[in-house]
Amino acid sequence: MYLLIVFLPLLGSSVAGFFGRFLGSEGTAIMTTTCVSFSSILSLIAFYEVAPGASACYLRIAPWISSEMFDASWGFLFDSPTVVMLIVVTSISSLVHLYSISYMSEDPHRSRFMCYLSIFTFFMPMLVTGDNSLQLFLGWEGVGLASYLLIQFWFTRLQADKAATKAMPVNRVGDFGLAPGISGRFTLFQTVDFSTIFARASAPRNSWISCNMRFNAITLICILLFIGAVGKSAQIGSHIWSPDAMEGPTPVSASIHAATMVTAGVFMIARCSPLFEYPPTALIVITSAGATTSFLAATTGILQNDIKRVIAYSTCSQLGYMIFACGISNYSVSVFHLMNHAFFKALLFLSAGSVIHAMSDEQDMRKMGGLASSFPFTYAMMLMGSLSLIGFPFLTGFYSKDVILELAYTKYTISGNFAFWLGSVSVLFTSYYSFRSLFLTFLVPTNSFGRDILRCHDAPIPMAIPSILLALGSLFVGYLAKYLNQSSYPNFWANSPFVLPKNEILAESEFAAPTITKLIPIPFSTSGASVAYNVNPVADQFQRAFQTSTFCNRLYTFFNKRWFFDQVFNDFIARSFLRFGYEVSFEALDKGAIEILGPYGISYTFRRLAERISQLQSGFVYHYAFAMLLGSTLFVTFSRMWDSLSSWVDNRLSFIFIVSSFFL
């Protein structure tokens, strides 16, 4: 049963890929959706068996790589964090598959799309169930590859090609951190097996990894692993790929940003918590980066006009909450928020997809408006998702988002206070852009074309069913998960994730945090919604007032241009690499040294040599006789004098001189 959870999506993808033209688009859609749906049902059964009693299941399948001390096997670990992630991944993916049947019904390449979507789903369970670093890395690279294929699915669109080409190298930057981190763990612990590494993580050791510089080994390894998480989970610096990934089909956006790719970094940190607990420097770096990302993405989302980009920046902001929750040593709360976030974020994306699908693929909110009467169901779904996102009391987001802020406050450190205040201010901006998107899309006077208004329709049944199920999750999953976690099963997480006793602050945040601190998110959320309600009906006048002030105009440009991250990357990084690639790699190496020393240089040398030798062929016999006499004389002379000259002449130098004469 446990192996079927992982390999059923692979089966569906293989059938769709190899036999899609025989089954047809309908057959492949049914096959892939059925496989992923059965996988989600089996994930629920696995959750029932593993999580309540904290009874982990370990399966060792076969040896993979065995070389002296190095041993990596195909093994699968099913513990509480794993089964929680499996429920999130497989349930959200099955609903996205069902949604895609109707959303992609007019696409002539739907079989290929369902194949890519299923392989994307397969690599994520492979990542979360791996019991060693190499198997995790296999799933890690697999989701990166599948995301590239899905973002570039409409490859005839230039923007889709650009987005996929941008996402791949940005994720490779993160992999340049993760791969050395895995190598460093093997160097330090002589194994890639998680259980062995975690068992030895607490052993005191004066070990250093040095290149004329001294670094604490555990600190350096954790920072390298975090760099990998930064690339995959769209944290500050590597977040630029996430909004551009909206160029893919909407089901792709929902799958990437709700359940699969961006959650991989958060899960990896939670999985490696026994390592991250010991170096305090690494935890401070994680907390600061996560808090900064939540604030950066929230401030950027307030002035975006693409409805999917607004939700994408919302994802980056919420990932910042998850990351800094890991930085304050509350990995279980981070995974809890990851699970809650998956349901309401998938709901928001699928609701936005229903609007885009009905409005002739229009994504600019300024060209919508007044759609509440035409899309009452979609409006209700998007309202529930937005309320859950801002942490409205007793909805799913409320139970995890507010807990993260309380934990940051009761950390009583500079990094904790930094995360608390940036996270609290981010609540204000989150509320603003959530309600701004609702007002511009559904409530303000319409700006749509008449033909779109006449042809628009609410979500059909195959698209409505996933939205209803996700709406139920957005309403009740948070409450149910908190109940399971605290009341019925106090050993739900067991010792995975691992937290040092000195870093355990969950009880203190519950009982010792001041009431005023717990209430801070409520006025921020209310203020954001109020500002959105009052500003957006008069948005044009408000924007003109902003443009009359130099400071406000620059501030508006700064946020609208996404903190100029794209411009900085293009001007200072991408352009430098392009210049290096042309001047050094292309001109100096490819067209320079390699061609001179390679096939072109050899052919040119022999051609020149043949030309020079051919000039000696004069056709006169006395010339040939003179050359033979001269050669014989030199040969006899040197052979007789060699004993006296050998101490003065270097054979290697003579050889170099003779060879170099060919190039003259």
Burial class (CB in 10 A: 0-12, 13-18, 19+), 200: middle
**Mean pLDDT, range 154-175, rounded to an integer:** 84
CA atoms within 13 A on the CB side of 247: 23
CA distance 467 to 351: 7
Which pLDDT tens digit goes with each residue over 525-564?
Answer: 888 888 887 776 655 566 666 667 777 777 777 877 778 8
Question: From residue 273, how far is each of 25, 270, 428, 615 by CA, in Å?
Answer: 44, 5, 31, 77
pLDDT at 536: 66
pLDDT, average across residues 115-123:
90
The fraction of the chain above a pLDDT of 70, given in percent, is 90
Residue-wise pLDDT tens digits, 39-59? 999 998 888 888 777 677 888
Please answer whether residues 458 and 556 qualify as being in contact, where contact means their C-beta atoms are separated by less than 8 angstroms: no
SS (HEC) of 641-658:
HHHHHCCCCCHHHHHHHH
- pTM confidence score: 0.84
Indicate the average pLDDT of the chain: 82
What DSSP letter does each residue of 494-560 carry, written as one string? Answer: TTSS---GGG--HHHHHHTS-HHHHHTHHHHHHHHHHHHHHHGGGHHHHHHHHHHSHHHHHHHHHHH
**Which secondary structure element, helix H or strand E, spans residue 592, and what is its range?**
none
Calculated CA dihedral for residues 344, 521, 337, 96, nearest 10 degrees: 10
Lowest mean pLDDT across 90-94, 313-317, 475-479: 475-479
Distance CA 562, CA 557 (A): 8
The residue that leads in pLDDT, 331 or 585, is 331
Rounded to whole angstroms, how far apart are CA atoms 494 and 52? 10
The mean per-residue pLDDT over the stretch 317-325 comes to 90
Q: State the DSSP code for 589.
A: I
Question: Dihedrals φ, ψ of 135, to 5°?
Answer: -70, -40
Closest CA to 15 of 43, 36, 40: 36
Predicted local distance difference test score (pLDDT) of residue 547? 64
Q: What is the pLDDT of residue 656?
A: 62
Which carries the bigger pLDDT value, residue 91 or residue 605?
A: 91
Q: What share of the chain is helix, strand, coil (3-state, %, to 5)?
A: 75, 5, 20
Maximum mean pLDDT: which of 330-344, 585-599, 617-631:
330-344
Q: How far is CA 616 from CA 381, 607, 609, 620, 623, in A?
A: 91, 15, 11, 10, 9
For residue range 448-458, list pLDDT tens digits in order: 776 667 677 77
Contact yes or no for 563/466 (Cβ under 8 A): no
pLDDT score at 646:
62
Mean pLDDT, residues 240-254 taken together: 85
pLDDT value of position 1:
80
pLDDT of 537: 61
Average confidence (pLDDT) over 123-152: 88
Q: Which of 273-287, 344-358, 590-604 is predicted with the least confidence, judged by mean pLDDT? A: 590-604
Which residue do the tokens 């908190």 mark?
Answer: 482
pLDDT beyond 60 at 484: yes
> For the segment 453-475, what is each residue's pLDDT rounded down to a tens digit?
767 777 788 888 888 999 998 88
Flag whether pLDDT at 662 surpasses 60. Answer: no
The distance in angstroms from the start CA to the end CA of the chain is: 73
Structure confidence at residue 307 (pLDDT)? 87
When pLDDT is averaged across residues 516-522 and rounded to a whole number, the result is 82
Residue whose C-alpha is closest to residue 123's, from 9, 262, 258: 9
Amino acid at 502: K
pLDDT at 114 over 70: yes
pLDDT reading at 359 higher than 60: yes
